[in-house]
Chain A
C-alpha cells in the first residue's frame, strides 16, 4: 500500500468523520495534528529538536483571537496574521537558536518559549490567567461560510489542515527538503558540497514556526478562546510526545500521534490527573518497544512484508 493510498483512505475517513463523532473534538484533533506535523518538519527532516514550539502555537492563537475580537478582522485574515506573527517570532528565535545543536538548541528554544509564556501572562491583550475568551466565530470569506455552524467549520478546518499538510509534504519532497535531509545526516558533507547549512536550518525553522502558528490560530477560531495552556512548556512537551508516538520523520506519524493523544485526553478526562500517568506509560512503552513510532514501525513491517512476498 503506497503513501498515496494511505492518504486517500485517511481523507475518506476525515470526510465522513463529523457524521459519526463530535465535530469540535475532531477539529481539535486536526489542529493538533497540524501542529505536530509542523513540529515534525523540524525534528524529522532538519534534525532540530525544539523544546519551545508552544510559543508559536500559543502566541499565534492570541494574535488571531485579538485580531478577530478587538480589531474585527475576518477569521481567515486573522489566522494569516497569527501564522505570520509566529513566523516572525521564528525568525528572531531561530536566528539565535540554530547556532547551537542538540541539547543546547533545545534549551535555547525552551528559554525563548518561557519568555513568551511570561510575556503572555503579563501582556494586557491576552487576559492573563483568564485567557482571551469569547472570540466570535464571524463568517468567513465575506459571509460565504457561516462558520458558527460546527459542520461548516469542520470542513473549513479540514481544508486548512490539508493545505498545511500538503505544504509540508511538498517541502519535504522538494530539493530544499533533500538538502535538509542531507544536512541532518552529515552536515559537514552538505556544507562542503556548497550549502550554507545555517541558512537552510533557519528557513526550516521559520516554516515550521509559521505552520505551528497556523495550527494555533485555527485552534483559537475553533475553541473561541486562547489560553496560557497553549504557551506552556507542557504544551511544547506534548507535541514532542505526539510526534514520537506516531513516528518522527514519517509523513502520517504526527497525525496519528496527535489523534491518539487528543482522543486519550478527551475520553479519559473523567479520570482526572490519571491521563498524565497513562500518557507517561504510553510514552515509555513507545520509546522502549517502538523506537520509530507507530507509523514508523508499521511502515517498516509493511516494507519487509512486501519485499518478502515479491521474492
Chain B
C-alpha cells in the first residue's frame, strides 16, 4: 500500500495498571473495509478506543492522512475526521432521535445529509421525535451509525455493530455498511460475528493478546478457513 489513510504502529495501551495492547501494527487504505477479528479480550475494542484517545494511557504512532494523532485528545481526533461508534452505542437518552443525529459537530464538508440518513434507515424517520431511551436495540444501532455519518468524517470505526441484533437487522446493517463503502467511506470494523464480517470486508486482521498476529485478504478466506477457525476458536 503506497499511502495508507490510517497507519497504526507500535500502539500500546493501558487501563490503569493493566497493559492491554502490546504494540499493535496495521494500516487501512483509503476506501477499504478492514476488520479486526479475535477472541474476547484480545484487544480489538481497546484498539479502537486507543485510536480515539479514550484509554487511560497510550504510546506508539497513529498517522491519519499524514497527521500524527497519538498525542491528541479525542475531540481533536474526532475533528481530524475519524468517527467512532462504540459497542454500547452511546445514544443520549435525554435527546430525541433527531437531536441525537444533529448533535455531532460537522468537522469536514461532504458528510451525509439528514435526509440521506433517513433514506438509509427509514425506521429513524418514523421515530425522529422519540427519546433516545425508547428505541429498540436495532434502532439504537442505526442511530449510532447514522449520527456519525453527518460529520463529514472519512474514516468510521465501528465496534460490533451487529451484536445482539435480530438477523434481519444484521442484514440491513450489512447492506448499509456496503453502501457506505461504495460512497467512499473507509471503515475499520471490529466483529465477533465472522460470518457477517467475511461477507463485507476487504481484509481481516487477527488480533491476539494485544498484538496483530496475522492478516488475511478476502480472496484467501476460503483457503485460510482452518487457520481462522483456529485463531477465533470457533
- Residues on A lying within 8 angstroms of B by beta carbon are 175, 178-179, 181-182, 184-186, 188-189, 191-197
A192-B52, A193-B78, A194-B78 given; A185·B73 CB < 8 A:
no
Establish whether residues A192 and B102, one from each chain, have CB atoms under 8 Å apart when the complex forms. no
Establish whether residues B90 and A186, one from each chain, have CB atoms under 8 Å apart when the complex forms. yes
Q: Report the minimal beta-carbon distance from B74 to chain A, rounded to whole angstroms.
A: 4
Q: Which residues of A contact B92 (CB under 8 A)?
A: 181-182, 185-186, 189
> Which of B75, B78, B104, B107 has the most chain A CB atoms inside 10 A of its CB?
B75
Establish whether residues B75 and A195, one from each chain, have CB atoms under 8 Å apart when the complex forms. yes
> Which residues in chain B, 92-131, are within 8 Å of chain A measured between CB atoms?
92-95, 99, 102-105, 107
A179-B103, A182-B103, A189-B86 given; A194·B93 CB < 8 A:
no
B63 at interface by CB-CB < 8 Å? no
Q: Report the minimal beta-carbon distance from B130 to chain A, rounded to whole angstroms.
A: 13
Distance of A178 Cα from B95 Cα, bound (Å): 7
Establish whether residues A191 and B74, one from each chain, have CB atoms under 8 Å apart when the complex forms. yes
Q: Report the minimal beta-carbon distance from B53 to chain A, rounded to whole angstroms.
A: 8
Q: Report the minimal beta-carbon distance from A39 to chain B, rounded to whole angstroms.
A: 19
Q: Which residues of A contact B54 (CB under 8 A)?
A: 188, 191-192
B84 at interface by CB-CB < 8 Å? yes
Q: Which 8 A-B pairs have the closest CB atoms?
A: A194-B78, A189-B90, A193-B104, A192-B74, A196-B75, A182-B92, A191-B74, A194-B105
> Which of B83, B84, B92, B93 has the most chain A CB atoms inside 10 A of its CB?
B92
Q: Which residues of B contact A188 (CB under 8 A)?
A: 54, 74
Q: Report the minimal beta-carbon distance from A180 to chain B, rounded to whole angstroms.
A: 10
Establish whether residues A193 and B94, one from each chain, have CB atoms under 8 Å apart when the complex forms. no
Establish whether residues A192 and B103, one from each chain, have CB atoms under 8 Å apart when the complex forms. no
Establish whether residues B78 and A178, one from each chain, have CB atoms under 8 Å apart when the complex forms. no
Q: Report the minimal beta-carbon distance from A304 to chain B, rounded to whole angstroms.
A: 14
Distance of A188 Cα from B88 Cα, bound (Å): 12
A175-B102, A181-B95, A182-B95 given; A194·B90 CB < 8 A:
no
A45's nearest neighbour on chain B, judged by CB, is B94
Residues 47-62 of chain B: 1 if any A CB is under 8 Å from the residue's CB, otherwise 0?
0000011100000000
A178-B103, A186-B90 given; A191·B95 CB < 8 A:
no
Known contacts A185-B94, A186-B92, A192-B54; 5 further A-B pairs (Cβ under 8 A): A178-B99, A186-B90, A191-B75, A194-B75, A195-B105
Distance of A189 Cα from B132 Cα, bound (Å): 14
Interface bin, chain B: 20 to 34
Q: Which residues of B contact A179 (CB under 8 A)?
A: 103
B79 at interface by CB-CB < 8 Å? yes
B151's nearest neighbour on chain A, judged by CB, is A194
Q: Report the minimal beta-carbon distance from B78 to chain A, rounded to whole angstroms.
A: 3
> Which of A185, A188, A189, A194 has the most chain B CB atoms inside 10 A of its CB?
A194
Distance of A193 Cα from B93 Cα, bound (Å): 16
Q: Report the minimal beta-carbon distance from B45 to chain A, rounded to whole angstroms.
A: 13
B148 at interface by CB-CB < 8 Å? yes
Q: Which residues of B contact A175 (CB under 8 A)?
A: 102-103
Distance of A269 Cα from B104 Cα, bound (Å): 51
Distance of A182 Cα from B54 Cα, bound (Å): 17
Distance of A178 Cα from B73 Cα, bound (Å): 22
Distance of A182 Cα from B100 Cα, bound (Å): 9
Distance of A136 Cα from B104 Cα, bound (Å): 50
Establish whether residues A191 and B73, one from each chain, have CB atoms under 8 Å apart when the complex forms. yes
Q: B107's contact among A178, A185, A186, A194, by CB below 8 Å, is which? A: A194
> Which of A181, A191, A193, A195 has the most chain B CB atoms inside 10 A of its CB?
A193
Distance of A197 Cα from B52 Cα, bound (Å): 15
Q: Which residues of A contact B102 (CB under 8 A)?
A: 175, 178
Distance of A186 Cα from B88 Cα, bound (Å): 11
B144's nearest neighbour on chain A, judged by CB, is A189
Residues 69-82 of chain B: 1 if any A CB is under 8 Å from the residue's CB, otherwise 0?
00001110111000
B83's nearest neighbour on chain A, judged by CB, is A193
Q: Which residues of A contact B53 (CB under 8 A)?
A: 192
Q: Report the minimal beta-carbon distance from A59 to chain B, rounded to whole angstroms.
A: 33
Q: Report the minimal beta-carbon distance from A138 to chain B, rounded to whole angstroms.
A: 45
Q: Which residues of A contact B74 (CB under 8 A)?
A: 188, 191-192
Q: Report the minimal beta-carbon distance from B92 to chain A, rounded to whole angstroms.
A: 5
Q: Report the minimal beta-carbon distance from A194 to chain B, rounded to whole angstroms.
A: 3
Q: Report the minimal beta-carbon distance from A199 to chain B, rounded to whole angstroms.
A: 9
Q: Which residues of A contact B151 (CB under 8 A)?
A: 193-194
Q: Report the minimal beta-carbon distance from B3 to chain A, rounded to whole angstroms.
A: 25
